[in-house]
Amino acid sequence: QVQLVESGGGLVQPGGSLRLSCAASGSFFSINAMGWYRQAPGNKRELVAHISSGGGTNYANSVKGRFTISRDNAKNTVYLQMNSLKPEDTAVYYCNAAATAPGIMGDYDYWGQGTQVTVSS
């Protein structure tokens, strides 16, 4: 199995910045695509940013130009740099990873427990 642990969430004023980290641990052969999702109260979980194993990225329109996703394959870690934060960015942010692990055929999606991001003055 693969465990994902997020960190870096918290309370920030509008216009501020936060950097989220997600570290993968456990037994796995490789981690392929990774991404960040978020879910606000009463809303459906939505994709925020995605990064492929080769470094290609994709962002939700609402965060383009403000958020940057990156990864460090040697550390099995994905990051989300969030700048110019807005109140509407308030949500629980979840890390996602597609990985191959012993005893499992093909890739399997794993999820972190989530970290709260609150943007408020």
pLDDT tens by residue, 1-50: 899 999 999 999 999 999 999 999 999 888 999 999 999 999 999 999 99
Three-state secondary structure call for residue 73 = helix
56 token code pair = 């290609």
Tokens representing 68 are 């940057």
Interval 41-91: pLDDT, tens:
999 999 999 999 999 999 999 999 999 999 999 999 999 999 999 999 999
Q: Which residues pair with 10 in a beta bridge?
A: 117
On the question of pLDDT at 106 being above 90, the answer is no
Query: Around 13, how many Cα atoms within 13 Å sit in the side-chain half-sphere?
Result: 1
CA–CA gap between residue 99 and residue 97 (Å, rounded): 6
Q: What proportion of the chain, given as a percentage, has pLDDT over 90? A: 88
In three-state secondary structure terms, 89 is helix
Secondary structure letter of residue 43 according to DSSP: S
Q: Which long-range contacts (CB under 8 A, 24 or more apart) does 47-53 make?
A: 48/80, 48/93, 49/80, 51/78
pLDDT surpassing 90 at residue 103 = no
Q: Is the pLDDT of residue 102 over 90?
A: no
Q: Mean pLDDT across the chain, nearest whole number? A: 95
